[in-house]
Structure 1
Amino acid sequence: MPFTMADMELLSAELPLEAADGKSLPEAIKDKYFNDEPLSGMILGQVNIISNMPVLKDSRSGAINLPPCLALNYCCIVGAGDQGEVEKMCKNVTELDLSENSLSKWQEVLSITGQIPQLCFLNLSSNPLSTAMPAHLAPVPLMAGITNLVLNNTKVPWSTVHVLLDGTPRLEQLHLSLNDYGAVHPADKSYPTVTLLQFNRNQITDWTDVTKLGQMFPNLECFFVSENDVRGLTESVGAHFPGLKSLCLSETGLASWEEIDALASFPALTEVRLKRVPLAEAYGEKERHQLMIARLTRRVTRLNGSRIGDTEREQAERAFIRHYMNREDKPKRYHELIETYGNLNPLANVDLRPKTHVKCLVRFEDTSQEVNISVKQTVGQFKQTLQDFVGLPPSQFRLWYCDQEMMRGCGATLLRYPGKLLYSLRIQDGDEFVIDRK
């Protein structure tokens, strides 16, 4: 079970005082992987901590063999430590998670990354890095190999973001969520290598700011902008995202169906997430889902994580036509779908509740009779009701079920199990049961 924040605070309180102080990255590595007195066996509150940490040090050579993916979150890290020590320990590390630490100086971050030549993934989430990077540190060639950079909840200023982008020419994925950005400050250049941008839970309200992100990252394929109160999406936005395939707009301010129509302006869009948006609040789950499918262009094949099948799409589009057929405010999409399906008749009011009784013919030798059968009973109970008709106890006769549709190819089915419920046979009116002696 993973530690909670309360667990971490309790752990700091029960460890010696110096263990809760800020430490360097090498000290954190030693504490986690090479401490002669590991946490295993100590009591944390009412929990006995058991560690199965593998041995990472060669006892013969003394060489350090850290895993390529290094997770050092919640370790109170404040800096890089002595020059060269990180390089000695982390020369084979490719992924480094330093989230939830106390790094506040960019020179310490760059000192760490400059000593890990193979680093391609760096997570700095929830470190207090809101101070702009000093001018003398730019550019930052010490991060040139990074392809995935996570800066969530760091409050990193836009000026520093631009410096970091200039120093990461291979960057493919950028995470800038929870940074309280109320506006986007674009750079004077674009960054074509970035294909994924996480921009959730900021404070953007204007789609003009969103288009600035499209200009900065012209080759975006996946864009998350959920939990921003952006409103007023228009058809002019899509042109700024020519290669975008996946767009998450959940919990945004989309309040009109015309904004959903505007998604057709994104030329490559195939997947959309639209959960918990204001325009859908007035509809039930099924109706909301069908209306969204019908509004979206057929190029979109996934909605809210699920694939839209051909049958599901046709049903949604037909339901959309019937939803608007008697209304004056018919949208443009309605007329487009009429060209595909023509004018439809209203659906008949059909009771779709499952039947509890069916009328079937029961045959025994030369005798037959029509019986009204409850499908909620078991085979054994049904045989009990037939013993007067047969003149034999249930133990002395067998019961066969004859499905009208299946009889041509498969023949009758012997009902062997007295506990089987009749409704599981999907019995229809007009089916037959045949009885023979054992």
Structure 2
Amino acid sequence: MDRDTTDIQSGGPDAGAKQPPGPADRGVRRDVNYYWCGQTASAFGSVFTTIALPVVAVVHLNASAGAIGLISAAATAPILLLGFPAGALADRLAHPRRTLVLLDLVCAAAVGAVALGLAAGTVSLLWLGLLCAVMGATSTFSMSVYFLHLRQLVGPDGIGSARARLQAGQYGAALVGRLLAGPAIAVLGAAAALSVDVASYLLSAVALLAMRSPDLVPRGPAPSMLTSLRGALAGLRLFTGDGFHRALAVFIVVPAAALAGVTALTGPFLLRVIHLPTAAYGSLFALSGLMGLSGSAVAGRVLAPGRNPRRVLLGAFTAAMACSLLLPLADGPLPLAACCAALGIGLPIFFGSIANVAVSSVLVADMSEETLGRAMAALQVCVATAGLVGALGSGVLGDWLGVRGALWAMGLIALGGVALSLPAALRAARKAPAVPAPEPAAV
């Protein structure tokens, strides 16, 4: 790169000519291709487990709404417990790729154990809860290591394009997986579906091991774990010093709690209340994948330069909560109920994907570079806390009001909380953000 720039600036005979890629460039592209294959395979396989677990819990183990809530909470609790420590630990890792391989192998072993238990007929709800806890814990660490490894692989300038390519592959694989998971479970059984996920984790590990670029991040003297955790916890204060940031916390936490509760009850609602066939269960979620892709594309337009991302964020979150009420409305003949349920699942994801992009725009604009990392860590823990409360609350409401009644209650409470906060949030959104001043460097 430096040589190309020198040639162009000096006006030599090859000025402006595109240099052929060197061995190092080809090696990076090859390793990115391996990473894409591994991540895409993992996303494809994970859908089979995501679809299979509710079917096993509801159809085979006759789980109550409260039990479903506990299983969902088991997947969220590790993020709350390990979010800050995982971020601090990631900053200390010298070999992130080895860590990702280890996490893939742990996931493969956990899913494989449950698959064998299903085949032997010994699986219980406790097994499913433990699997969700293990998957939640490994996901917490992998989220922290993912960008560290990607930066190591392509450098800071290549993260944008590499991340876009990886995300597109994951979206596409998840969409195909949703279409195939239901029929696969109906024909081959849940154990076979989980085996697909086991194979996907092993493929991801093999892809990581096939990379040839160095797996070493130079590390200087690292702060103590206690110092790192204190710095992360300080990020919570960044959401209390500004009127809009306080409102933003409501608009993030309330929908997160509602989404976790609705997600926990969606399986029982579709399979027990509207009696959706197991073979069609996964395909109903295919629309959500398309809605997520569409929402991401629309977000790029509505958040064009000159637009106020704060107002877009508030409107998108409010619309997502309103559309979530379509799910408990699903009733009547199965085709009509399935269409209504698909919209109740897909439209909140459409508006939620717009809101997620807007949140990033708002935080990047409102936070200084020195405080952004702590703010994101604090946000992750707050969302996990809300998700834990939502999952547990939905289970209690499901046992008390029934699944449809609990969905109505979760949706109306969330929409009411967002609507009550909306006027003050819109007034605060008109004010220019006050970016925190960088903290003085430690001497």
Normalising by the smaller structure, the TM-score range is under 0.3
Considering fraction of residues, name the structure with more helix.
2
The TM-score normalised by the length of structure 1 is 0.21
Larger radius of gyration: 1
TM score, norm. by length of structure 2: 0.21
